[in-house]
Copies of this chain bind each other. A is one copy, B any other.
Amino acid sequence: MAPSGQLNETINSSRCLSLATPTTPLQIRPYEPSDWPAVWALLEPVFRAGETFPHDPAITPEQAEVAWVEQSQAVMVAVDATGVLVGTYYLKPNSLTLGAHVANAGYVVAEHYRRQGIGSRLCQHSLQTARRLGFRAMQFNLVVSTNIAGIRCWQRNGFQVVGTLPGAFRHRQLFYVDALVMVQGLVEGPKP
């Protein structure tokens, strides 16, 4: 994981006003190895459900740590006012060298803390982080079409659906469902 010591910050605003509670103090800071047990507690039910991420639902904690932390360029966690770790995201290049100026990210919010705008704050924070790291765009490759809350949140935060992949995700409950490709540019004005 790349150093990200300068990315620690607190975000109190949210563009997802309809869902967010902007007054909730929420610290978003870089992941530390001691966070892993709490991060795994967030990730495990999401991976096991097999509804949003393509990872093996039987993934082990060790495999999940490689996937979420080791293979990422930056990992952040969101901590609420009581010190509870309520969310996390990873950020990494979406492709090899000649596509590495496009970022990819993934987000998880603890089940009991959803519908409070935390996903939106993580998304906004990840966009800031991506800009700071020099990425020119962010792309989600396999947004499960049944993940309506996620799709709406990302659209509110500037992402656009650029394509639909028929039956590209094997949903654990619904079998083969469509997946979306979503993209957001991070640079303004004419190309250099």
Interface residues of A, Cβ cutoff 8 Å to B: 50, 53-57, 95-102, 136-137, 139, 141-142, 162-172, 175-176, 179, 181, 183, 185, 191-192
Nearest Cβ in chain B — how far from A38, in angstroms? 24
Find out whether the CB atom of A166 lies under 8 angstroms from the CB atom of B179: no
Which chain B positions have C-beta within 8 A of A137? 165-168
**Could you jot down 26 A-B contacts, CB within 8 Å?**
A50-B98, A53-B96, A54-B96, A54-B99, A55-B98, A57-B97, A95-B142, A97-B170, A98-B171, A98-B172, A99-B142, A99-B170, A101-B170, A101-B176, A102-B165, A136-B167, A137-B166, A139-B168, A141-B141, A162-B164, A163-B163, A166-B183, A167-B185, A175-B191, A175-B192, A176-B191
In the bound complex, how far is the Cα of B106 from the Cα of A95, in angstroms?
15
Q: Is the CB of A96 within 8 A of B139?
A: no
Q: Are A165 and B191 in contact (CB under 8 A)?
A: no
Cross-chain contact of A162 among B97, B163, B169 (Cβ < 8 A): B163
Contact A163 B181 (CB under 8 A): yes
Report copies per complex: 2
Residue from B141, B165, B175 in contact with A183 in the complex, judged by beta carbons closer than 8 Å: B165
Give Cα A130 to B60, complex, Å: 29
Query: Quick one: which of A102, A136, A181, A185 has the most chain B CB within 10 A?
Result: A102
- Do A98 and B167 touch (CB < 8 A)? no
Residue among B141, B169, B191 making CB contact with A167, cutoff 8 Å = B191
Residues of B within 8 Å of A55, CB to CB, are 96-98
Nearest CB of B to A26, in Å: 30
Return chain B residues, CB-CB under 8 Å to A57.
Answer: 97-98
